[in-house]
Chains A and B, each alone.
Chain A
Amino acid sequence: MESAIVARGLEKSFRGAPAVMGVDLRVEGGERVALLGANGAGKTTTLMMLLGVITPDAGTIEMLGHLLPHERSTAMLGVGFAAGYLPLPDKLKVRELLGVYGRLYGLPDPDDAGDRALRRFGISPLATQMASELSSGQRTLVGLAKATMHHPRLLVLDEPTASLDPDVALRARAGIESLCEADGTALLVTSHNMTEVERICHRVVFLSHGKVVADGTAADVAAQFGRPSLEDVFLHLASEEL
């Protein structure tokens, strides 16, 4: 199976302050990988570079076999993105919003695809509601429906379940897992919820001060740092980040 992400030697500085330093990241087709690290470790900057929204100072990125930035548009046809912190646009009903994004992704029947995506996350009744009037949990689930409605080969999620109630987080996880299992979708996700990461992902990559400091299964990474759990590794690295 084709690699979903092949990034080599990614570097990025903002006003001389290094944010990402020499990150190599590979995600195979169908593989589920968590990108972990404390605030400021370089996770979101790395994701934004992979999505072609921020230009790296150095390094190369191949998404689904397409080299960025020149083949960004083609690559993004197979990529879905959602972030728990992003609002939904004003003045659109949920079904209209999904219809717009379905067309941006070139779907032949965008409205039907939107309805199916809402069903996947158990939120069909929201279809006729205004997107801007949803609760934060509902907004996150609609964001996930938007990111998955075109059955992407790679799903990139930035803090998808941050500040969600446990029941909504469970529904989000179930929808993501069902998509990944049914379609063989690769997943790259950032999260501060280590239990969630251990449950969903095959592999974790830890960033600290913009560098990859660990890469392996949750158990391997915990063992590498001599800590009993991923949570303890996170806390250990976060204390170094401060």
Chain B
Amino acid sequence: MSATTLGLNHQRIGAVVRRQAYVQRRGWHRWFDVAVWPVVDTVIWGSIGLYVDQQGGAARSGAAYMLVGILLMHVLYQSNIAVATGFMEETWSRNLINVATTPIREVEYLAGIIIVGLVKLAAGLGMVTLAAWTLYSFNLLEIGWAAVPIIGVLMLVGWCMALYVIGLVLRFGTGAEILAWGVLFIVIALSGAFYPIDALPDLLQPVSRSLPSTHAFEAARTVLDGHPLPWDRLGWAMVGLAVFAALGVGFISRMMRVFRDRGYISRYS
């Protein structure tokens, strides 16, 4: 019997990591998420920022804002997409029954796809950093250690969003997959990844302030302006995150009950 920590079986978690690694290795399209899109996004937003700089009308460096914005947006994007698509791989290959009839527990499965997600996140951020440095001579590492808690908050927000997406796929089937990307871009728009939330329409600003990711992006801009890390903003982000996470765990637990009660496993047989 393999070792356990907090009741989690390491070998089973390792099996999920191994399975996802095979898919990543052989699924060429999977490399778009970690290698291609980060570079494409860096070019789009970095060039917009550079153009604004060249017009000379902005008080702050547009390129720096855009490039930091794209780095942090990719934290949210990669952490959400890696976990959500990790689960969806089982629905796409109709493998859900095979997995669900093994001894693996839901939390072990989730731990496995989160570990894979961490590796993909590191790869995606590495690509953005490299592209910003080689194409725009901008060193994103200059943000320093302040980036660590900001990235931590955004990563946790991304994982929580993946819980909601997986819950929706369990409840509504593969048609709900579009939400993995749709919800992500709504949250990115509302969180002010590339602009202060004052720039949003008045109607949307209260929604924006309620999102933990908004406070993380605002904290990053504050640091970029040369100020110390605003811990009060990060505190609000953590409070919002705790609520978001508790609701996410409750939601996915409820959706798993519904999935078993209504026999939705038959969708994948």
The reply to whether A103 and B103 form a contact with Cβ atoms under 8 Å apart is: no
Q: Which chain A residue shows the least CB distance to B108?
A: A73
> Are A87 and B26 in contact (CB-based, < 8 A)?
no
* A106-B2 contact, Cβ under 8 Å, with A14-B262, A14-B263, A73-B105: yes
- Say if the beta carbon of A12 comes within 8 Å of chain B: yes
* B:232-269 near A, CB below 8 Å: 257, 260-263, 265-266, 269
Specify which of A14, A54, A104 lies most central, judged by the most chain B CB atoms within 10 Å of its CB.
A104
Can you name the residue of chain B whose Cβ is closest to the Cβ of A14? B263
Name A19's closest neighbour in chain B (CB-CB): B263
Contact of B102 (CB < 8 Å), options: A87, A92, A96, A105:
A105
B101 and A89 contact, CB distance less than 8 A: no
Would you call B93 and A104 a contact (CB within 8 A)?
Answer: no
Least CB distance from B84 to A in Å reads 18
Say whether B22 contacts A77, CB under 8 Å. no
Partner-binding segment picked from B8-16, B70-78, B147-155, B217-225: B8-16
Do B101 and A51 touch across chains, with their CB atoms under 8 A apart? yes
- Asked if residues B260 and A103 are in contact (CB atoms below 8 Å), the reply is no
Q: Are A91 and B257 CB-contacts (below 8 A) given A86-B94, A86-B269, A106-B2?
A: no
A90→B97 contact, CB < 8 A: no
User: For A156, what are the chain B residues with a Cβ–Cβ distance below 8 Å?
Assistant: 101
Which of B11, B95, B101: most chain A CB closer than 10 A?
B101
Instruction: Decide: B101 and A87 in contact? CB cutoff 8 A.
Output: no
Interface size, A (range): 35 or more
Q: Which residues of chain A (189-215) have a CB below 8 Å from chain B?
A: none
Tell me which residues across on chain B come within 8 A of A76, comparing CB atoms: 101-103
On whether the beta carbons of B18 and A81 are closer than 8 Å, the reply is no
How far, in Å, is B91 (CB) from chain A's closest CB? 11
From residue B95, how far is it (CB to closest CB) to chain A in Å?
A: 4
Q: Which of A45, A53, A100 lies in contact with B18, CB distance below 8 A?
A: A100
Which of A14, A86, A103 is within 8 Å of B15, CB to CB? A103
Q: Is the CB of B263 within 8 A of A146?
A: no
Nearest Cβ on chain A to B257's Cβ, whole angstroms: 7
CB <8 Å contact, A91 and B22: yes
Known contacts A53-B260, A90-B93; is A105 also within 8 Å of B101 by CB? no
* Residues of A in contact with B (beta carbons under 8 Å apart): 12, 14, 19, 44-45, 48, 51-55, 73-74, 76-77, 79, 81, 83, 85-92, 96, 99-101, 103-106, 132, 146, 156
Can you add 6 more A-B contacts, CB < 8 Å, to A48-B263, A92-B19?
A: A12-B263, A53-B260, A86-B97, A89-B95, A89-B98, A105-B103
* Subset of 18 A-B contacts with CB under 8 Å: A12-B263, A14-B262, A48-B266, A53-B260, A54-B265, A55-B257, A73-B103, A73-B104, A73-B105, A76-B101, A76-B103, A77-B103, A85-B269, A86-B269, A87-B95, A88-B93, A90-B23, A100-B15
Q: Which 3 A-B pairs have the closest CB atoms?
A: A103-B15, A91-B26, A89-B93
